[in-house]
C-alpha cells in the first residue's frame, strides 16, 4: 500500500492502523468486479465457515462493503430468528416446548424413581388370528385399520383392573390405588412425544378404543389436543415394534408407577417338548416399575396376566359387546 495515498486521521497527520485498514477496504470496493458482492476477504472467509450467504448480508463499510463484523451481526440475528445456529461442523437446535417438558420429566423420573424392568416374550399367533377376524368389522365401524396396539390396550386394561397395585402411584410415603383404568398411548409427533389418554379403557370395546386412537392420531397431525386428552393417565404403553425395535426399556412418567414397552414380532426358533425346533411368532414386552409400588414378584405376576391374555385371547371372542 502506498502510504502517500492513505488519508491520515492521527495527530500531526500521522497515518494510523485504522487509516490503512479503511484504505484497504476502499480499494477492495473500487476493484470489485461489477455484479459481485462487495465484501472483504475476511468477511467472505467467515461467511463460508458459518454457512452464511454473503449476498444477504448488509454492508456497513465504504460503498456498502461487507465487513467481518457485518457477517457476525447477520449470523447472530439469524440464530435469534430461527432458533438454530451453524458453527462450522455443528448445529444447535432449539427444543420445542413438548421436548423440553418431556426431557425434564425424564430427568425427574430417572433421578427420583427407583425403577427396574422385567421382560417376557409372548406367542402372537392366536392374537394375530383374532385381529384378522375382527379387522373388517372394526375398520368399518371406526374408519381405522385395527392395530395391534388397540388389542394390547384392551388386554392391558383388563390386567390392570385385576392388578390394583400396578394401577397405582407412590405419593408422600403412601400408595394411591386408582379405581379408573386410564391408559396413556405414546405417539410420536414433529413436536415431540405425547401420550393421549384412553379413559376407563377396561370398560370400552375394541371399536371404541380404536376410534379414540384414530381421533388422537388426527389431532397429533395438527397438535390440537384438548387438555383432558393428555391428563389422568395411570399407566402408559409405548409400542416401537412398527419401527423394527425388538426390545427396549421405557422410562416411567411420574407419578405413574409403570410403563409397558412393546417390541417387534419376530419369527423365532423355539425348542419343543419332543426336542424338535419350530418357528413361532414371538413379541417381547418389557415392564418398567416403580419399586416403591411393586416388587419383582408382583411385576412378574402382572406380566404373566398380559402374556396369558395375548396367548389365549378368548376375551375378544367370548367377551360380548364390550370386547369388540
Who's near 300: CB < 8 A, 6+ residues apart? 118
Q: Are residues 109 and 25 in the same domain?
A: no
Q: Which of 93, 108, 141 is the last residue of a domain?
A: 93
Omega before 110 within 30 of 0, i.e. cis: no
Q: Are residues 52 and 168 in the same domain?
A: no
Alpha carbons 180 and 186: distance in angstroms, whole number: 19
Q: Which of 93, 116, 131 is the last residue of a domain?
A: 93
C-alpha distance from residue 176 to each of 59, 149, 182, 186, 232 (Å): 65, 27, 14, 23, 14
Q: Are residues 313 and 257 in the same domain?
A: yes
Domain total in the chain? 2
Distance from first CA to last CA of the chain, Å, rounded? 88
Q: Are residues 220 and 198 in the same domain?
A: yes
For the chain, 324 residues long, give each residue's pLDDT as a single digit of tens: 555 655 555 565 665 566 656 666 555 544 444 457 788 888 888 888 888 888 889 988 887 888 888 888 888 877 666 655 555 567 888 889 999 999 999 999 999 999 999 999 999 999 999 999 999 999 999 999 999 999 999 999 999 999 999 999 999 999 999 999 999 999 999 889 999 999 999 999 999 999 999 999 999 999 999 999 999 999 999 999 999 999 999 999 999 999 999 999 999 999 888 889 999 999 999 999 999 999 999 999 999 999 999 999 988 876 544 555
Catalytic residue selected from 77, 234, 247, 291: 291
Largest Cα separation within the chain, whole Å, is 108
Structure confidence at residue 26 (pLDDT): 59
Structure confidence at residue 20 (pLDDT): 59
Query: What is the domain extent for residue 31?
Result: 3-93
Q: Are residues 224 and 293 in the same domain?
A: yes
State pTM to two decimals: 0.72
Structure confidence at residue 32 (pLDDT): 47
Q: Identify the CA nearest to 69 among candidates 27, 90, 39, 92.
A: 39
Structure confidence at residue 190 (pLDDT): 87
Side-chain half-sphere exposure of 96, counting CA atoms within 13 A:
10
Alpha carbons 316 and 99: distance in angstroms, whole number: 37
Q: Identify the CA nearest to 231 among candidates 161, 171, 184, 169.
A: 184
Query: Which bin fits 74, alpha (ψ -120 to 50), beta or left (φ > 0)?
Result: alpha
247 is catalytic: no
Side-chain half-sphere exposure of 300, counting CA atoms within 13 A:
3
For the beta carbon of residue 214, count every other beta carbon within 10 angstroms: 16
Q: Which of 61, 93, 125 is the last residue of a domain?
A: 93
Amino acid at each position: 500500500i502506498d502510504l502517500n495515498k492513505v488519508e491520515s486521521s492521527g495527530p500531526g497527520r500521522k497515518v494510523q492502523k485504522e487509516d490503512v485498514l479503511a484504505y484497504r477496504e476502499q480499494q477492495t470496493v473500487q476493484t470489485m468486479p461489477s455484479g459481485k458482492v462487495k465484501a472483504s476477504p475476511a468477511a467472505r472467509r467467515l461467511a463460508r465457515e458459518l454457512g452464511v450467504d454473503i449476498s444477504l448480508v448488509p454492508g456497513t463499510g465504504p460503498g456498502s462493503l461487507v465487513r467481518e463484523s457485518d457477517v457476525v451481526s447477520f449470523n447472530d440475528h439469524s440464530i435469534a430468528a430461527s432458533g438454530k445456529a451453524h458453527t462450522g461442523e455443528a448445529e444447535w437446535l432449539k427444543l420445542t416446548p413438548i421436548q423440553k417438558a418431556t426431557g425434564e420429566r425424564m430427568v425427574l423420573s430417572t433421578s427420583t424413581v427407583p425403577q427396574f424392568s422385567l421382560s417376557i416374550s409372548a406367542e402372537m399367533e392366536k392374537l394375530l388370528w383374532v385381529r384378522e377376524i375382527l379387522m373388517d368389522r372394526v375398520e368399518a365401524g371406526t374408519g381405522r385399520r385395527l392395530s395391534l396396539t388397540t388389542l394390547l390396550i384392551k388386554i392391558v386394561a383388563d390386567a390392570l383392573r385385576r392388578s390394583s397395585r400396578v394401577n397405582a402411584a407412590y405419593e408422600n410415603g403412601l400408595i394411591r390405588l386408582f379405581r379408573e383404568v386410564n391408559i396413556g398411548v405414546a405417539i410420536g409427533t414433529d413436536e415431540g412425544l405425547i401420550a393421549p389418554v384412553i379413559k376407563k379403557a377396561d370398560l370400552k370395546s375394541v371399536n371404541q378404543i380404536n376410534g379414540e386412537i384414530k381421533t388422537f392420531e388426527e389431532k397429533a397431525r395438527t397438535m390440537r389436543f384438548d387438555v383432558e386428552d393428555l391428563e389422568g393417565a395411570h399407566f402408559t404403553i409405548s409400542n416401537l415394534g412398527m419401527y423394527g425395535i425388538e426390545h427396549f426399556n421405557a422410562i416411567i412418567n411420574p407419578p405413574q408407577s409403570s410403563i409397558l414397552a412393546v417390541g417387534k414380532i419376530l419369527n423365532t426358533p423355539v425348542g419343543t417338548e419332543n426336542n424338535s425346533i419350530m418357528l413361532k411368532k414371538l413379541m417381547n414386552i418389557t415392564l418398567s416399575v416403580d419399586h416403591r409400588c411393586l416388587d419383582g414378584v408382583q411385576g412378574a405376576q402382572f406380566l404373566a396376566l398380559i402374556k396369558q391374555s395375548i396367548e389365549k385371547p378368548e376375551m375378544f371372542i367370548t367377551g360380548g359387546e364390550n370386547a369388540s
